[in-house]
Structure 1
C-alpha cells in the first residue's frame, strides 16, 4: 500500500486531482434535495454526525450546500435540544431501512419534531464542523447561516450538559452504543454484557445491512438484539432522560463523545463574537469538560482515555481509538497529550513514530482484533480525521502529515468506502460513502491552521 500512498500524494496535481473529482462526484451522487445520504445502498436517510463531517468537505466545493446540510439536520432538533441521530426521509417506503421510523415511534414522544426521527443522538461534532465550514469559505451568506445555526448549536450543548450528565461530574453519558458512533466497538462489550438479549429476537425484523455487506463484516444478531432491547427501554419511557440511572440498562461516559462536546464549546467560543454572542461561557464550559475528562476518563496506568460504565463505576479496559479522540481539545494538558500521542504511535495503533498506516478502530495487538468487522478493527476516515485534527492542534505536524498520507492512500487504493482493512487498505462496507469523500476533500484542500487552537 505504501507505493500507492506515495503516488497519490506526490503533489497537488495528478493523483490528487483524480481523487478530488471522485470525491465531488460521490457527494453529488449522494445529494438528496436538502441533505447528503451516507450511501445509496445501505444508509438512505440522514445521519447526524455524517452530515457534520460531510459539511466540512462540502464547504470546499459546494459551500451553499454545506449550510443546507446542517440546516436540514437541525430542523429536526427536538424541543429539549437533542439532535437525533437519524432523520428519516418520508418519501421512502416503510421497511426501506431497519430500524425505521415505525420502530422508533418518535411521533409519540413529547417535544419531538414533525419529521420522523430516531430518539438517540450522536457525537456533537456539529459546532466544530460549522466553524470549519465557515473558515473554508467565509462570506456574508455563510455568516448569515452561521448566525441562524448558532442558537441551535447552543441548545444542543445545553441538552448534553443538563439532561445527560447522569454521573453529575460534568460529562455527558451515552445511553446506547449507537450514540457513540462506534456501534459495536469492543469498548461496549462489558457494558453490553449486562443487557439481556436473545438473537432469536431478530427473526421478527429484517436487517438490511447484511443484505448489502457480508455478515462477517457487521455486528452480530446478538449485538442487534441488545441494541433493540436498549432502544425499547428508552422508547417505553418516552425518550425522557429524567431518572435514567434508575431504569436504563446502558449508561456510559465516552471519551470521544465528550471530547467532541468540549471541542464544540471551543468552536462556539470562536463563533460567538461573529454572531453577537458572548464567548466567555463557552470557554468556561470547555475548560470544565476537559477537566472532567481528565479526572473521570484518563487512566494513568495505560496512558489513554477509556469509557466509564456508570452502572459499575469502572473504566472499560478495551483500548480503542476512542481513547485518542481527546487530542482534539486544545486545552488538553501536556502530560495527557504526550501520553495519547505515544498510544497513537504504539504498535496498538500506529507504526513507530511516522503514522504511515491508518489508525485502526481497535488495538491491533488484542487477541480479539477483527480487521474486517465494523468498529472492531477496521480503519475509518472520520476518526482518523479527528485524530489528525488533534495532532495539528498540538503542533505534531510531522505525525499529522504521515496520517494524511495514509488516509489519502486508503481512497487511492480502494475508493470512497465506508471503512477499510487497516493493513491492506481493502475497501469494506458501503461503497461511495459520504463522509469518506467529504473528509478526503478536506485533506486535499490547502493546509490551514486548525480552527480549534488558541
Structure 2
C-alpha cells in the first residue's frame, strides 16, 4: 500500500490504479502510505470517489511539518506499514524526537488521524507544527475546475462544482471534503487557491520523556444530510480518539480471528490480505446504493458499482468474518429487484439487474445495467450467511425475493418450457438488435467473451413469449450447463431455507425439482466420449462439443449433479496438464481447445471463483487430496498472492502472472474458504 500519485487520474489506460489503497467501514475515500523516498509526514491521498469514479484529490493533503527555532526537522523512516484496520508510519526527527502517524476510520464518512510526538532526549523541546497540501486537479474538462479549496472554522474544506461527465466524473455540487482539527489552527491559502498551510495556533512543548498527541479528522460527504452525520462522527472521534482506536482494534481482531480459524499458520497472512481487500472495497449507502455493499475493486475505474453475481460470491467470503456486512450486500442487490406489477418492466417481475451504481440512468449514470441479470447463486449466498448467523428473520426476509428470482428464470429464459434454461437478454432499449441481445446474454453468464458464446460459431438469440404471445425477452440458442447446474443448486438451497422455516412440502417440491434438473443435465449435457459436460444446441439437443471444453463443465460437480462415474472423468480432465491442470489452476478454457488463450479474459485466464467451484466439486465427491494439492499449487503459482502483491482479478494459467484488476473482491472472498483445511 505504498506510492504517491503524480496526477489526479489514478489509473493506467486500462483504468487500474497502481497504488493499492486502504479504506474501512464503507468510506468513499481512501489512503496509502508513501514510499521511503517520497515526501514524508503524511498519508498518500485521499483517493475519493466522484460518485462512480476514483480520483486522487491530492498526493498528500495533510502532511505534517515540524520546526524548532524556525528550522525544519527533516524526518527519516523508521517504519511504514499497513496493519489490519490502520496505516502507520514512524519517523525519526533526530536528537531523540520521534513522530508516529496513524490513520484509521471513525465511521463510514470519516478518517481519524493521530500524530504522536515523543521526546526521548534529555532537554525540553518547543516545536512549531503545520500541515500543508496541494490539490491534484484533473488535467482537462469541466472536472478540472470542480474542486475548490477553502478555509474552514477548524481546518480546510474542499467543495466541488456540479459535473456530469457520464464516463469519467460525476458530482452534484453538494460534495465536501472536510479536515477538522482538535486543536486551534490558523489557515493560509496560496494565491492560486490550490494549496494550504494550516498552522497549529500554539507551539508543542515536550519535556524529556514526555509525548504529545495531535488529532484531526478527514471526512468525505455527498449531501447535506451526510455532512451533518459526518460532523457528529468527527466531533465524537476528536473527543474520544482512544475509544475509536480501541473499537477499531476490537472489530479487526474479531475479523481476523474468524477469518483465520482453521487456516494453517503459513496461510494466515494471505487470509488477512483477503479481509483487507474486501473491507477496502466496502461502500456504505450512498446514491442508489441503499445498503452496505462490496464493490469489485476500488483500484479499477469501472468497478465501483454493485454486481449481482460478484455479490453472491463476495457474501460467501465476507460471511466468514463479517456476516452482517455479507447480509447487507445481498440486500443492496435485492433493493433493485423488479417488483411484481412493475409498470416499466412487468415481464421482468423478480429479475435482479446485472449491476447497480450510485446513479441510475435517470441521474446520468451510464454503468447501471438492466440488459441482463447474472447467474442464480443468490440462494447459496443467503444460506451461507445464515449458516454463520442463525438468523431466521433474514431467511424469512429473503425467501420471497429468492422465490420470485427463480420464477423469473423459468418464465423468461426457458424457451421450450422444458425445465432447462438459457442465458438471455431483457426487453431493454440497449438490446435493440440480435447482436446486442447476444452480447447481453454472454454478460448474463458472467463469462463475457467465453468462446462458447462466439457469434462466429452461430450463437444468436430467439424470442421468448408467454401464452398470449407477449414478448418477454430473448434466449441464446443453447442451453448452458453451468446455468442449469446453478439452478439445481438454487433449488436445493431454497429447499434448505424452506425446511428451516418449517415449510416441508415446499422443501420436498424444491428437492424434487433439483432432481429433475440433475437428471436432464446428466442425460443431455454429459459427453460420454469426451468425459465432460457441455452446453447443448437449443433446437436439436446436440452437445456443442466442437467448441471445446470450458470450465463451466465442472459446475455439475459443485452442484452435486454429476454421477460418481461422470465426476471421475471430469476429475481426470481437470487434473490433466494438457487440459485444465495447468501450473496455475484452472484455465477457463482447456489447453486442448483451439480457442485457448492464456491471456484471454474468459478465454483461458484462471479465475479464482471457478477454481473455488472446481475445488469444492472435488471435495464434494471425496477427492480431498486432489483439492488440497490444487490449493497448494494455486498459492505457489499465483504471482504475489502469498507475498506483498495484491489479490488479482485473474491469473495467467501457465505462468501465474496476475492480470487485469488488482485487489479484486470475489477472488479474495472465495480464496478465504479455500485457505482453510476442511474437517473431512
TM-score by length of 1: 0.76
Question: 1:346-368 CA distances to partner (integer Å, 9 max, x unpaired)?
Answer: 234344xxx87411100113333
Matched, 1:18 2:276: no
Q: Which of 20, 28, 32 is the aligned partner of 2:279?
A: 28
Partner of 1:412, secondary structure, is coil
Partner of 1:429, secondary structure, is strand
Residue 244 to residue 403, structure 1, CA distance change in 2 (3 Å): farther
The CA distance in 1 between the partners of 2:530 and 2:409, in whole Å, is: 28
Residue 69 to residue 349, structure 1, CA distance change in 2 (3 Å): farther
Asked if 2 retains the 8 angstrom alpha-carbon contact of 1:45 and 1:88, the reply is yes
| Structure 2 unaligned spans of 5+ | 1-259, 285-291, 340-348, 425-440
Question: 1:124-169 CA distances to partner (integer Å, 9 max, x unpaired)?
Answer: 111112222222x233xx3321221122112222222333211333
Q: Which position in structure 2 is the counterpart of 1:346?
A: 576
Q: Which position in structure 1 is the counterpart of 2:343?
A: none
Question: 1:197-256 CA distances to partner (integer Å, 9 max, x unpaired)?
Answer: xxxxxxxxxxxxxxxxxxxxxxxxxxxxxxxxx8xx98xx9x999869999473321111
Q: Which of 427, 447, 451 is the aligned partner of 1:182?
A: 447
Q: Which position in structure 2 is the counterpart of 1:157?
A: 406
Q: Which position in structure 2 is the counterpart of 1:292?
A: 520
Q: Which position in structure 2 is the counterpart of 1:265?
A: 491
Q: Which of 43, 50, 70 is the aligned partner of 2:330?
A: 70
Residue 119 to residue 92, structure 1, CA distance change in 2 (3 Å): closer
Greater shift after overlay, 172-181 or 15-24? 15-24
Asked if 1 retains the 8 angstrom alpha-carbon contact of 2:380 and 2:489, the reply is yes
The CA distance in 1 between the partners of 2:470 and 2:447, in whole Å, is: 22
Partner of 2:498, secondary structure, is helix
Matched, 1:171 2:420: yes
Quote the offset at 1:332 in angstroms.
2.6
Greater shift after overlay, 272-281 or 242-251? 242-251
The CA distance in 2 between the partners of 1:268 and 1:340, in whole Å, is: 27
Partner of 2:595, secondary structure, is coil
Partner of 2:420, secondary structure, is coil
Residue 329 to residue 14, structure 1, CA distance change in 2 (3 Å): closer
Q: Which position in structure 1 is the counterpart of 2:653?
A: 422
Partner of 2:419, secondary structure, is coil
Matched, 1:129 2:357: no
Asked if 1 retains the 8 angstrom alpha-carbon contact of 2:579 and 2:591, the reply is yes
The CA distance in 2 between the partners of 1:249 and 1:329, in whole Å, is: 23
Higher Rg of the two aligned structures: 2
The CA distance in 1 between the partners of 2:332 and 2:466, in whole Å, is: 24
RMSD: 3.0
Question: 1:96-125 CA distances to partner (integer Å, 9 max, x unpaired)?
Answer: 75xx34xxxxxxxxxxxxxxx413111111
The CA distance in 2 between the partners of 1:90 and 1:375, in whole Å, is: 28
Equivalent positions of 1:212-251 (< 5 A) are 248=474, 250-251=476-477
The CA distance in 1 between the partners of 2:678 and 2:583, in whole Å, is: 19
- How many residues of Structure 1 are paired with residues of Structure 2 in the alignment? 378
Q: Which has the higher contact order (CA 8 A, sep 6+)?
A: 1
Bigger proportion of residues as strand: 2
Equivalent positions of 1:88-167 (< 5 A) are 88-90=357-359, 100-101=367-368, 117-135=369-387, 137-139=388-390, 142-167=391-416
Q: Which position in structure 1 is the counterpart of 2:436?
A: none
Residue 441 to residue 360, structure 1, CA distance change in 2 (3 Å): same
Residue 347 to residue 190, structure 1, CA distance change in 2 (3 Å): farther
Partner of 2:375, secondary structure, is coil
The CA distance in 2 between the partners of 1:370 and 1:131, in whole Å, is: 36
The CA distance in 2 between the partners of 1:291 and 1:374, in whole Å, is: 32
Bigger proportion of residues as helix: 1
Asked if 2 retains the 8 angstrom alpha-carbon contact of 1:416 and 1:436, the reply is yes
Residue 407 to residue 246, structure 1, CA distance change in 2 (3 Å): same
Quote the offset at 1:331 in angstroms.
4.5
Asked if 2 retains the 8 angstrom alpha-carbon contact of 1:356 and 1:403, the reply is no
Asked if 2 retains the 8 angstrom alpha-carbon contact of 1:49 and 1:123, the reply is yes
Asked if 2 retains the 8 angstrom alpha-carbon contact of 1:381 and 1:407, the reply is no
Asked if 2 retains the 8 angstrom alpha-carbon contact of 1:164 and 1:241, the reply is no
Residue 96 to residue 372, structure 1, CA distance change in 2 (3 Å): farther
Residue 264 to residue 348, structure 1, CA distance change in 2 (3 Å): farther
The CA distance in 1 between the partners of 2:471 and 2:533, in whole Å, is: 23
| Structure 1 unaligned spans of 5+ | 1-8, 102-116, 196-229, 450-454
